[in-house]
């Protein structure tokens, strides 16, 4: 069966003859397709970041946050709501009553201005227990970490993140010096190894102080904002989570699980929850971005109607020499589909390019962000483009096919 290439050739001639008009007409398609590709890619990249974070921290940790949550949703404290129900004593009770828990650390956090001899660095201070290195599987590269005795006595000692140490001391040895953290004086006893960004925080721009020091001296509080529990090797994490919940209910005097004022999640459960949230958000935003495809389709319909008006005499001549209504309809349908597909291909190109640039910048900033373009997003983009082309071309093609050849020939 011979394929008639005349409509395709005519379309290319129209595009080349009206380059700017054709580009502006396809701009809505280009933006829409690019947006769909970028949003789905960013969602996949964010998921890869979360997976890499779990791998770097370890899957043998259980996190406890204050505030209740739905089974697949984040706790209220994630949204910045200050909840004071979680105490360090809760962690001590868990460790003594749940054999599978071999270690734990409480966490508090705050903003800090670290200064010495006129040099200043804005950072975050993290109050943790002395066993923090074991919990986070990290180490100091210079000096030491603080001890349990220093934690219990709320000593003013600090371990600097590598970026803070570099900014304040310019590669010179910071050990046995004194720095100001906000208005308090601390002894520098160590420097952490460079760790990059984790959990959307620049870990190298953090400083670490004893938990009691963070609570009593820096913040004036008696609660913690997070607890991490280390599970024994080979232990069943899911059953351990349930045991931890039982201990916390006893600690907080809760008899009805529906009234829990805490959230307990393993790293894997946290990852699954975040994946669900990022998937839902990505597809919602992709649907919003798809609205611009409708706008693009309307633009293409408009230019095709203009094209029909400009080609009225030609259409009349073709019908006069025997062209059928079906031939005219197919010609203009092919033109709209070609115009849409050109916009779609450009949209895919720019979407992939921008997604790649985002991943390059994210990795440069220290985030373990993978460049991900899913075949589903490309198929979705191509399918959307084809459907928009058909829908936007249907009315112009119908109008062109219904032109009376005598009236069309007389058109000026």
Question: How far is CA 117 from each of CA 169, 191, 201, rounded to the nearest angstrom?
Answer: 10, 19, 27
Query: How far is Cα 329 from Cα 319, in angstroms, rounded to an integer?
Result: 12
Query: How far is Cα 317 from Cα 404, in angstroms, rounded to an integer?
Result: 10
Q: Is residue 293 part of a domain?
A: yes
Q: Is residue 46 part of a domain?
A: yes
Query: How far is Cα 190 from Cα 173, in angstroms, rounded to an integer?
Result: 10
Angle, CA 165 vertex, CA 159 and CA 166 arms, to 5°: 160
Contacts of 412 (CB under 8 A, 6+ apart): none
Return the SS3 of 219.
helix
Do 229 and 281 reside in the same domain of the chain?
A: no
- pLDDT (tens digit per residue) in 31-48: 777 877 887 787 777 777
- pLDDT (tens digit per residue) in 90-130: 999 999 999 999 999 999 999 999 999 888 999 999 999 99
Domain that holds residue 318: 6-53+272-410
Do 92 and 231 reside in the same domain of the chain?
A: yes
CA 319 from chain centre, in angstroms, equals 56
Do 233 and 99 reside in the same domain of the chain?
A: yes
Most confident of 53-62, 145-154, 232-241: 145-154
Q: Is residue 399 part of a domain?
A: yes
For residue 214, the model assigns a pLDDT of 95
Q: For the chain, what is the domain count?
A: 2
- pLDDT (tens digit per residue) in 262-284: 888 876 666 666 666 667 776 77
Do 35 and 124 reside in the same domain of the chain?
A: no
Do 291 and 377 reside in the same domain of the chain?
A: yes
Do 89 and 145 reside in the same domain of the chain?
A: yes
- Tell which of 208, 232, 260 closes a domain: 260
Query: How far is Cα 287 from Cα 312, in angstroms, rounded to an integer?
Result: 38
Indicate the length of the chain as a whole number: 412
Question: How far is CA 97 from each of CA 94, 135, 247, 341, rounded to the nearest angstrom?
Answer: 5, 19, 8, 64
Query: How far is Cα 145 from Cα 254, in angstroms, rounded to an integer?
Result: 37
Q: Is residue 401 part of a domain?
A: yes
Do 89 and 37 reside in the same domain of the chain?
A: no
pLDDT bin (cut points 50, 70, 90) of residue 190 is very high
Do 104 and 221 reside in the same domain of the chain?
A: yes
Do 256 and 276 reside in the same domain of the chain?
A: no
HSE, CB side, 13 Å, CA atoms: give it for residue 73.
8
């Amino acid at each position: 069966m011979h394929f008639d290439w005349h409509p395709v050739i005519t379309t290319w001639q129209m595009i080349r003859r009206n380059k700017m008009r054709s580009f502006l007409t396809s701009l809505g398609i280009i933006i829409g397709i690019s947006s769909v590709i970028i949003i789905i890619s960013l969602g996949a990249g964010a998921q890869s970041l979360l997976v890499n974070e779990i791998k770097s921290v370890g899957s043998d940790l259980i996190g406890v946050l204050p505030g209740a949550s739905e089974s697949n949703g984040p706790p209220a404290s994630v949204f910045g709501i200050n909840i004071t129900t979680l105490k360090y004593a809760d962690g001590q009770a868990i460790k003594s009553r749940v054999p599978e828990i071999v270690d734990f650390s409480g966490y508090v956090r705050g903003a800090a201005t670290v200064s010495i001899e006129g040099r200043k660095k804005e950072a975050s201070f993290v109050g943790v227990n002395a066993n923090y290195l074991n919990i986070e599987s990290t180490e100091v590269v210079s000096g030491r970490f603080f001890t349990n005795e220093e934690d219990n006595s709320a000593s003013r000692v600090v371990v600097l993140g590598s970026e803070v140490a570099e900014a304040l001391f310019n590669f010179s040895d910071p050990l046995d010096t004194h720095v100001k953290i906000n208005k308090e004086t601390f002894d520098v006893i160590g420097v952490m190894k460079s760790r990059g960004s984790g959990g959307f925080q620049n870990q190298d721009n953090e400083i670490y102080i004893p938990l009691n020091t963070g609570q009593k001296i820096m913040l004036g509080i008696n609660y913690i904002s997070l607890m991490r529990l280390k599970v024994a090797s080979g232990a069943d994490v899911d059953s351990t989570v349930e045991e931890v919940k039982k201990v916390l209910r006893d600690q907080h005097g809760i008899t009805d699980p529906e009234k829990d004022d805490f959230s307990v999640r393993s790293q894997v459960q946290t990852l699954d929850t975040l994946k669900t949230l990022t998937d839902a958000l990505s597809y919602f935003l992709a649907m919003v971005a798809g609205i611009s495809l409708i706008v693009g389709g309307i633009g293409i319909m408009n230019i095709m109607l203009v094209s029909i008006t400009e080609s009225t005499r030609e259409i009349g001549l073709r019908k006069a020499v025997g062209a059928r209504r079906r031939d005219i309809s197919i010609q203009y349908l092919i033109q709209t589909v070609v115009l849409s597909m050109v916009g779609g291909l450009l949209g895919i190109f720019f979407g992939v390019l921008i997604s790649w640039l985002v991943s390059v910048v994210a990795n440069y900033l220290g985030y373990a962000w993978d460049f991900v373009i899913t075949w589903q997003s490309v198929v979705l983009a191509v399918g959307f483009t084809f459907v928009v082309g058909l829908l936007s071309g249907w009315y112009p093609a119908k109008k062109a096919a219904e032109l009376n050849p005598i009236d069309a020939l007389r058109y000026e």
